Amino acid sequence: MIIKNKGIGKSTQLPVWLQGYIDSPQKQKQLYRKTLIIVVLSQIFGGAGLAAGITVGALLAQDMLGTESAAGIPSALFTLGSAGAALLIGLLSQRFSRRAGLATGFLVGGLGAIGIIIAAVINNVVLLFVSLLIYGAGTASNLQARYAGADLATDKQRATAASMAMVSTTFGAVAGPNLVDVMGEFAYSIGIPTLAGPFILAATAFIIAGLVLFIFMRPDPLVVSTAIANVQKKNDTFQGKKNSENLKMNKREIVVGATVMILTQFVMVAIMTMTPIHMGHHGHNLKEVGLVIGFHIGAMYFPSLITGLLVDKVGRTTMAVASAATLLTSGMLAAFAPADSMVFLICALVLLGIGWNFGLISGTALVVDATHPSIRAKTQGSVDVLIALSGATGGALSGMVVAHSSYAVLSISGAILSLLLIPVVVRPRKTQSKELV
């Protein structure tokens, strides 16, 4: 008989199927590959759902509220919603499984998108704001899926595994913004406001992503990796001072990794949120906005094809510094490039996406490196809460900054802020080296 557990890794006796994975490295590799395939498939749909809010959320709020200063509210709300959802998804994943946490997040996000559509139809701002918060659950699941890909990865595969989960988001994320016109026309044809059209796509995509994970992510990678780690821990003969030093090192690594992701998220969301408004001021139409945001979202995820390999090969610190340099270049280009030039806008937003990608994957690898599977999902959920809150703050402040100054000031501020990444990742390494001598 198997004693029922009250959380992952808490059973006193393991099921036969789970023991089979512990005893067989070959089965572990097979499950690792299967998990990546399932995550990739779900992320294709998740990316399409994610793109809707980014592309037209600000425009929908501006249209319904009649004021530009509130244009950053949608980004702030669904990012704030993703913060709360990130914590809940982490707790659900730790308590039950990755499958339960991620699938729930996507399905709830789909319900939020449906609520946004209804709010647009009846012109109810309160319902819009509540639904944007709920919609954020899909965003949280989309982001946390990268951890599922890394659950069974080796030390030298973790960044690559996380990047594989992210790169698949590219397909849906790029397609989403470029379907803005099509979905807008479809929405109009059935009596729904044009700007709510992309959220029809978001609702469908998030729900499909959730169903893919719920049906196919079996056995669960976090359950298996936790069991393996617990067995390894029991067999570990090194205790005492070594474990105490490792615990201190791990806490520092978590802080550093989290800070890298928090800063990159703040800068990226702030500039991205106000780009559609900035383009509207200079005569760009909705199709052009969708094109620029499509390139941006593609740049957020597509570089993952090589970013993970680079993080694993050249190191977490080097790639975090590269993130700072890329975000700096992006901010300055967005600030000083001709506002009527699609080419310069695309280049600036592509660099913004690449800089975010470098920071997210290097920071993710640092956090995964520093956490034991028995607490990994809960820790990752807590970190993603801070990332989401950072994005919410960036989105909210961006509208106020632009309303009282300009898009150029916002972009320059983001560029300067990105430089903080360098001392964050370099100084702790020096301190850590001295302590270990």
Q: Is residue 46 assigned to a domain?
A: yes
Examine the pLDDT at 12 and tell me if it is beyond 60: no
Q: Is residue 7 assigned to a domain?
A: no
Q: Is residue 437 assigned to a domain?
A: no
Number of domains in the chain: 1
At residue 110, what is the residue type? G
Q: Is residue 421 assigned to a domain?
A: yes
- Of residues 373 and 329, the one with the higher pLDDT is 329
Gap between the Cα atoms of 434 and 186, Å rounded: 62
Q: Is residue 4 assigned to a domain?
A: no
Examine the pLDDT at 435 and tell me if it is beyond 50: no
Q: What are phi and psi of 224, to 5 degrees?
A: -70, -45
For the residues 419-424, what does the mean pLDDT come to?
88
Q: Is residue 58 assigned to a domain?
A: yes
Specify the pLDDT at position 70: 61
Q: Is residue 434 assigned to a domain?
A: no
Examine the pLDDT at 225 and tell me if it is beyond 70: yes
Smallest CA-to-CA distance from 141 within 223, 225, 83, 196 is with: 83
Report pTM: 0.72
Specify the pLDDT at position 4: 44
- Of residues 327 and 341, the one with the higher pLDDT is 327
Smallest CA-to-CA distance from 176 within 89, 133, 113 is with: 113
Smallest CA-to-CA distance from 204 within 49, 56, 47, 82 is with: 49
Q: In CATH, what number is assigned to the domain containing residue 182?
A: 1.20.1250.20
Of 103-117, 239-253, 336-350, 370-384, least confident by mean pLDDT is 239-253
- Of residues 28 and 179, the one with the higher pLDDT is 28
Confidence of residue 103 (pLDDT cuts 50, 70, 90): very high
Gap between the Cα atoms of 168 and 170, Å rounded: 5
Q: Is residue 5 assigned to a domain?
A: no
Q: Structural domain of residue 353, as residue ranges?
A: 16-230+239-428
Cα torsion angle, 161, 258, 266, 263, sign: negative
Place of tokens 């796509």: 201
At residue 313, what is the residue type? K
Specify the pLDDT at position 427: 66
Which residues neighbour 291 within 8 Å (Cβ) at sequence distance 6 or greater? 177, 178, 342, 346
DSSP assignments along 18-78, one per residue: HHHHHH-HHHHHHHHHHHHHHHHHHHHHHHHHHHHHHHHHHHHHHHHH--GGGTTHHHHHH
Gap between the Cα atoms of 125 and 284, Å rounded: 26
CA atoms within a 13 Å half-sphere pointing along the CA-CB vector of 242: 4
At residue 282, what is the residue type? H
Other CB atoms within 10 A of residue 2 CB: 11
Q: Which helix (H) or strand (E) holds 5?
A: none
Structure tokens at 186: 């479809």
SS3 of 15-31: the string is CHHHHHHHHCHHHHHHH
Examine the pLDDT at 437 and tell me if it is beyond 50: no
Of 144-148, 228-232, 233-237, 339-343, least confident by mean pLDDT is 233-237
